[in-house]
Amino acid sequence: MTSPLDLAPVIPVVVLHDAADAVPLARALVAGGLPAIEVTLRTPAALDAIRAIAAEVPDAVIGAGTVITPAGVADSVAAGARFLVSPGWTPMLLDATREFGVPFLPGVSTASEVVALLEYGVTEMKFFPAEAAGGTAYLTSLSSPLPQARFCPTGGITAESAPEYLALPNVGCVGGTWMVPPDALAAKDWGRVEALAREASTLRLTRRV
């Protein structure tokens, strides 16, 4: 499949407490132009939410986030996840994702972690926590010595700061939550979610030179 980094400028990072919200939320995000959706494994409803989106929203590319164990890998793929995201990585976790053959964005925040993943042949990674780990300045510093690494920065990114990340040559997309605000989820205001997603989908990747 197409890399998750190349589907849209933004991957919504979603925490769902009620699996019944999964399908209408995913439909709103897809209608707004954000087909790649990361549902984090932080709640008991997460796997059911992934399963529902995979079954009922064919235009969504559903992913599982906060995948930190081999069991989480297996459960996510069984539920229908088409890509996996983790805040970090270990050799055991990397082996588990390779067993299932799905795209995996392992989390990194240091140059040594990036180099270690490159040794494994991994070139696409999550940069997390993006703002706390150095933000655009840190990613800019990585681009010259490690040009083969591409990132999806996630963690503290907003609609206002996203364009700065997207302008970097080693950033494929960003992850964020601003298009799925908690009050909109609580109110089931899917129209607002779609509008925010549409704004996010129009962010242009104007690369720095």
- Residues with catalytic function: 38, 126
Q: Which residues touch 120 (CB under 8 Å, ≥6 apart)?
A: 94
Instruction: Provide the residue count of the chain.
Output: 209
With beta carbons less than 8 A apart as the criterion, state whether 140 and 162 touch: no
d(CA 5, CA 52): 23
Q: How would you list the strands of the sheet with 124-127, edge to edge?
A: 107-108, 124-127, 150-153
Nearest in space to 3 (alpha carbons), one of 119, 159, 173: 173
Residues 45, 19: contact at Cβ < 8 Å? Answer: yes
66/90 Cα distance (integer angstroms): 13
H-assigned helices in 6-104 = 22-31, 46-56, 70-79, 91-100
Alpha-carbon gap, residue 188 to 178, rounded angstroms: 15
Cross-strand pairs, 175: 11, 154
